Structure 1
Amino acid sequence: MNDFDPTTFLPDDLLDRIRERAPIHDRENTFPQQDLEDLRDAGYLSILVPTERGGAGLGLAEAAILQQRLAGAAPATALAINMHLVWTGVAKVFSDRGVPGLEFVQDGAVAGEVFAFGISEGGNDLVLFGSDTDAVPDGDGGYAFTGTKIFTSLAPVWTRLGLHGLDTTSADAPQLVFAFIDRTDAVTTSDDWDTLGMRATQSRTTRLDGAVAEADHVVRRIPPGPSPDPIVFGIFSVFEILLASVYTGIAHRALELAVATAQKRHSKKTGAAYSQDPDIRWRIADMSIAYDALPPQIAALARDVDDRVDHGARWFPLLSGVKHRAITMAKQVVDEAMLVAGGGSYFSANELSRLYRDVLAGAFHPSDPESAHSTAASALLGPIES
């Protein structure tokens, strides 16, 4: 970790190209195809794949640093790639712990496949612990999935969709089924992504009508509800840490822009740079103090996942907590940066204006603020008495 150089995987010239394209995709509401191609060529899709399977062999701790760096250039690109990295991260959690079943994800990532995340469903606040999607066994170990998934990032380009559904017909039903499907005629991607921010993720609605996961791509069958199964821990840990990383990267970029603006703006009253104004200095210091807390927290939790530290039941408040703190901090920092930059930041062409819209998406990712607080309260006070 001490020798890790993020510029090896995200060199400055690559980030410069990605940053230049970000406002175009935001304005035109298009997917950053060239970003994806450049990142694929740089081996970024397989950074979490072990070297023995052809990947870069990085840990979650290094991936978190890279995602912060990528988000500073193009938040929506980073968030979209996050969803692919979640599945390769889960595969790493499995392989690190000697659990078979996701080797095809690692091999696919090395081959250039793009894995999307099909868990979210409208109105399903159970998230990982339940599903409104029907999973019907085909008798040969495979499943046909019928239902609707929302916020499917990478919608125009994914080659395999990792998803879950509920099997209500087998002898041991109900069982949650986690599996991967290919893009076929049984999958319909709606062109419905027209949002306030994070527009380039193209996280469109996905409708499944008997979409088949073959037996060798059915990863897990577990009872609904909280579970110690590695699929639950793998998804939750990697998802929360990488999400926290993206929004922390946004905050870092907002702080950079605020500092640069304060140094070049001058007061008509005094002629001095805004960087000499005590109120501006306090505001930027407050932003820095808030931001500085998050990178070490993310790094510590990511290393614990990599090192297979057993926090037991504490894992869930730790993970939901760091994600919640990251999005709360990032929104605060971007708010403050807008004030430092002044009225010019209100124009849509200003980078801070885009960051302001992008950062708002953080509150809608699991764990949402209510879930994070409920998890923390239950860990400290026990469950609510019935």
Structure 2
Amino acid sequence: MSAAIQALELSEKKDIIALCGDLAEKFIKRAPKYDKEGSFPVENFQDLKDAGLLGIMIPKEHGGMGADFLTYTKALEQLAMGCSSTALTFNMHNIAVGSIAELNLKGIGGSRGKTMTEFRDWVYDQSISHKKVFASASSEPGIGAHFSKLKTTYKRVEDGFVINGTKSFVSMAGYADYYVVAAKAADSDSEVPAISYLVVEKDHPNTTIDFIWDVLGMRATSTNPVHFKDCFVKKEALFLGSEGMALYKIAREPHWLVGGYVGVYLGISTAAFRFMVDFIKKKKIPGTDTSLSEDPKIQHRVGEIYAALESARTVTYNAAMLVRDKLGSQEANNAIHHAKYVAGELGPWLTSQAIRLCGASSLAKVFPLERYYRDSRCGGLMPATSDECLSYMGKAAFGTDLTKPTETYW
């Protein structure tokens, strides 16, 4: 690759990140309203659509922005600094689209290659030309995102499939245009069940939604249960035309189900840190006209927080680079779990420290710090959970082959 092409690509990546930063400035003004109401950020998603960001991961030759995983991670970080619920739900769209965009289908011939290509092109067209949003429907009651334990089933019928089951945490439920439903083959009882993804339209008559999302943090994600009862979909709804391979794909390349969250939670921590610094600069040492930022003890504690934040940023960016450069390698998979653990645990600690340093007045809802605290509390619960990340890294340290689904937490 010539230096000129490299420079052009670097400039384009910077433009994507800057675009997301500009949108975040708009999002931050709306975030309190969405959080208070628990309403979905429709205006923010319209801005994402208008900016062409539904195709952020789609290659440029197909009309998208062609972002790599590092650029995407930095873009999510920017969006989350404006509205974390918007960033998190935007990531759900890209779990579907991004996982397709990184596939190389040129070497797959015959009818299988044709089917996969047609499905890919349909997803690209829906995202770019029709501005349609895809939602991931995986987690189930009492199971979470443990794919090997899924109870939702599908069975082959004439011209398609029938889905039955309930998904407990479907972000964008009621807003997304399509649900990408993880289900196991009804006749699959093996230790590694045949898990497939099937695409269900939003207004399918055999789906119902329980609008019950009223929680501590990430209140604007509309993460509600969706029920599928004898839900028929055509054979073209089978994700990439591939049946029974999802669990193997997730085990080999877990970054989309794990790594997308990292940029979001890093963004929350970054926003909280910047608020804290600005707040402390304006606050006075009691009984004086001197800024609290000049207190040596405060400087020391802010320095400690800064070191933790920048360490998390380094870990996050390094993991995203490894995904970009060594996709599916154990090194990249270890790094993305490390980053998920660090970012997920950093947020609650950092926001707690910020509250202590800023004082009780910073908890007023006129300020975003208490929202950052609540939203950050969710980070360690998103898949993979903090405990699952530690177990994964521990197994990796002992040399376990984590490409085997039976060796992972899935």
Fold shared by both chains (TM-score > 0.5): yes
Cα deviation for residue 8 of structure 1 reads: 4.8
Q: Distance in 1 between matches of 2:125 and 2:61?
A: 10
Instruction: Tell me whether 1:177 sits opposite 2:196 in the alignment.
Output: yes
Which ranges in structure 1 are unaligned for 5 or more consecutive residues? none
Comparing 111-120 and 317-326, the one that deviates more: 317-326
RMSD: 2.4
1:218 paired residue number: 238
2:301 paired residue number: 283
Cα deviation for residue 75 of structure 1 reads: 0.7
Q: Distance in 2 between matches of 1:299 and 1:289?
A: 15
1:322 paired residue number: 339
Q: Distance in 2 between matches of 1:153 and 1:126?
A: 13
| Secondary structure, aligned partner of 2:320 | helix
**What is the CA deviation profile of residues 145-168 of structure 1, one whole-angstrom value per residue up to 9, with x for unaligned ones?**
111112211112111111211113
Note if contact 2:153-2:184 (Cα within 8 Å) is conserved in structure 1: yes
1:151 paired residue number: 169
Note if contact 1:130-1:166 (Cα within 8 Å) is conserved in structure 2: no
Which ranges in structure 2 are unaligned for 5 or more consecutive residues? 1-8, 401-406
2:384 paired residue number: 367
**What is the CA deviation profile of residues 292-320 of structure 1, one whole-angstrom value per residue up to 9, with x for unaligned ones?**
122333223223333344524x4443322
Instruction: Tell me whether 1:107 sits opposite 2:125 in the alignment.
Output: yes
2:19 paired residue number: 9
Q: From 156, 170, 174, give the equivalent of 1:137.
A: 156
Q: Distance in 2 between matches of 1:125 and 1:188?
A: 19
2:207 paired residue number: 187
Divergent runs of 4+, >6 A: 170-173
Note if contact 2:320-2:336 (Cα within 8 Å) is conserved in structure 1: no
Q: Distance in 1 between matches of 2:310 and 2:267?
A: 11
Instruction: Tell me whether 1:345 sits opposite 2:362 in the alignment.
Output: yes
Cα deviation for residue 372 of structure 1 reads: 1.2
1:197 paired residue number: 217
Amino-acid identity (%)? 24
TM-score, L = length of structure 1: 0.90
Note if contact 1:240-1:322 (Cα within 8 Å) is conserved in structure 2: no
TM-score, L = length of structure 2: 0.85
1:82 paired residue number: 91
**What is the CA deviation profile of residues 316-373 of structure 1, one whole-angstrom value per residue up to 9, with x for unaligned ones?**
4332221111111122211111112110122233200111111111121111122112
Amino acid in structure 1 at the alignment position of 2:314 = P
Note if contact 2:347-2:377 (Cα within 8 Å) is conserved in structure 1: no
Q: Cα gap change, 1:240/1:169 in structure 2, threshold over 3 Å: closer, same or farther?
A: closer
Q: Distance in 1 between matches of 2:62 and 2:164?
A: 33
| Secondary structure, aligned partner of 1:88 | helix
Q: From 167, 170, 180, give the equivalent of 1:162.
A: 180
Instruction: Tell me whether 1:55 sits opposite 2:64 in the alignment.
Output: yes
Q: How many pairs are equivalent?
A: 377
Q: Distance in 2 between matches of 1:368 and 1:26?
A: 24
Cα deviation for residue 253 of structure 1 reads: 0.5
Q: Distance in 2 between matches of 1:223 and 1:311?
A: 18
2:260 paired residue number: 242
